[in-house]
Chain A
Amino acid sequence: MSQEAFNLDVEVDVESIESSSRKARSETVKRLARYTGLKLIALFLTVVAGVYITIIIANMGGHVDEIRRGVIREQTVLALNADLQFRQLPEAERTAILDERIALAEKRFGLDQPFILRSFRYLTEALTLNLGFSEFLISDSGSRLVRNIILERLPSTLVLFGTGNLILFFASLSVGLGLSRRYGSFWDKFILGMAPTSSAPGWFYGLFLILIFASILGWLPFGGMVDAPPPENPLDYALSLMRHMVLPIGAIVINAIFLNAYTWRTFFLIFSSEDYVDMAKAKGLTDKMIERRYILRPTLPNIITSFAFLLINLWTGAIILETVFNWPGIGELYFRSIGAFDTPVILANIVVYAYLLALTVFLLDFIYALVDPRVRVGQKGE
């Protein structure tokens, strides 16, 4: 009798699921297209707003123009005064030539137009990634193209922070997972106790590392990216690069590992108390299997999110750490461009970061749907 009840139950379920899945298939394409379109528009608007706000702030609402005008006047006067013929001209003629030269230079910078108009031109140029020329900064190879200035710095930042943050990420993930399985042990308490040390910035630890390993022990270089002059042999170059990377990477890892490991440990602790983890244990799975299938797998979306943001954050480098280690990276460039009010360079950094961020957010939605069967892209709460 109970058997019949089962069968009845079963057929109804299969029927409804099949019909709903057929309907879902036919609507999937439409749903995906609409979702993708809406999401892209929303993200683009966010990028536009973010970049425009950056333009306003980087130009201090137009006040940077005053600084620019001052600089132009000073430079033009200096340049003209160096000319003997010019100095012998009568006063009125000199003023006329000076004003003409200044007007020309201001026009070249676009200062003859009101700031509000130019801000929109900056916006369209930034959004189309037409990064243009810097105002003051020059790349090491002598180029004023913002693209060249940034591209020159990008590899050094990527190699340092890429390596450092990847080590940091996977180390803190595995330490955190290990601690969550050994709750209350000595190492758990140790990491917990050390977590507040991460409130000090990375360069702070960098200074100590330089003091100990470069200054006192003399084992490693004080800073820079390679020996000077750079070794010719690619192998020697790589070795020299690695020697120079040890201390900054050490600073990055020591600085953040305790807090990150502690955060992951707490995160995994919460997910290890799920009933299905207990069940996996009751089923006699080994610890490795439980960790892989019942803790890491269900938390994969969170781990991927964290990893994706780590990747795009590489783009910004780290201002002071790079300065302390004399590392020619993006962070240091950022620092100099802000100091010099070089708005094209600042903007270029921001707009590329904004696009990377938007792209990541956009892709993450699809990645979630791939790794978590409960997530359906564009479907509102079923």
Chain B
Amino acid sequence: MESASNHDLLVVKNLRLHFKARAGVVQAVDGVDFKLRKNQATVVIGESGCGKSSLAKAILRLLPRNVDTYDGQVLLNGKDIMQYNTETFRREVRWKKISMVPQAAMNALNPVMRIGDQVAEPAMIHMGLSKDEALKSALQMFEHVGVPVDFLHRYAFELSGGMRQRAALAMSLITLPDLVILDEPTSALDVLTQANIMNLMKRVKQELETSFILITHDIATSSELADSVAVMYAGQIVEVGDAHSFFAEPLHPYSKSSWPVCHVCERQ
């Protein structure tokens, strides 16, 4: 087990995140186990409300106010980041090791700050770059993800949805983190832009050797990027598999029930 963790970038063991709600406790993430190797992309598939986004939040410790239970183990490069205190977690993990592209990248950008400043911000904090250097590396990232360079000085409301999504992606990559968590990064975009962004992520994965956790309910587009697949249902991961064999033949009854969808996408 210990030797295996050398290859594993991220090992999640029995991670739980429960919320207090009016009618009781919501077990959004309820004992999740999975592993992610370096430079690998795992797709977490599941229906709306199954706890996918909460899983992303739980890994990055972005907790809402009504948390009931939050425990388990998250090993990043063999170290349990759940044991870190808030300040260490902020300095060592957030964006330095793990970054994210949020579900609604539309609202993920500060409306009154220039895009460039927001993208450059993590580089200044975590890499100790000066503002000019950070903007320069933001510019490089913009080129990487195909955002025009002069957008550096624009505001979020001046960008189209696809451009904002790319800016968010550039922001997630600027510190060259080991892992990027993408929370339905393309769900609000049209099919063409979706395909563009998926291609882009494929390229980024090859060029920058980043690992991805791609959270989505869109099996068709995600199958392109995925090395492995985790099916999430009611707060638990019910099946983990190699992407190829999963799309060919899912095992869990729940996966099987959604298999016709996969079947169609494989044939395409």
Contact = CB atoms under 8 A, between A and B. Distances in A.
Contact of A14 (B60, B148, B160): B148
B2 interface: no
B183 to A, nearest CB: 11
A379 to B, nearest CB: 13
A183 B65 contact: yes
B210 to A, nearest CB: 16
Nearest to A382: B157
B36 interface: no
Nearest to B56: A282
Interface in A60-84: none
Chain B interface residue number, banded: 35 or more
B239 interface: no
B199 A280 contact: no
Query: In the complex, which range does the number of interface residues on chain A fall in?
Result: 35 or more
Interface string B70-112: 0000000000000000000011011110011010100111111
A286 interface: yes
A286 B90 contact: yes
Contacts of B208: none
A300 B62 CA distance: 26
B155 A276 contact: no
Given A297-B112, A298-B111, A374-B111, A282 B94 contact: yes
A282 B99 contact: yes
A2 B95 contact: no
Contact of B94 (A10, A284, A297): A284
B102 A275 contact: yes
Nearest to B155: A373
B90 A276 contact: no
A22 interface: no
A276 B107 contact: yes
B108 A2 contact: no
Interface of B: 60, 62, 65, 90-91, 93-96, 99-100, 102, 104, 107-113, 121-122, 125-126, 146-148, 150, 155, 157-158, 160, 162-163, 171, 196, 199-200, 203
Given A276-B108, A373-B157, 4 more contacts: A7-B146, A276-B109, A282-B99, A284-B125
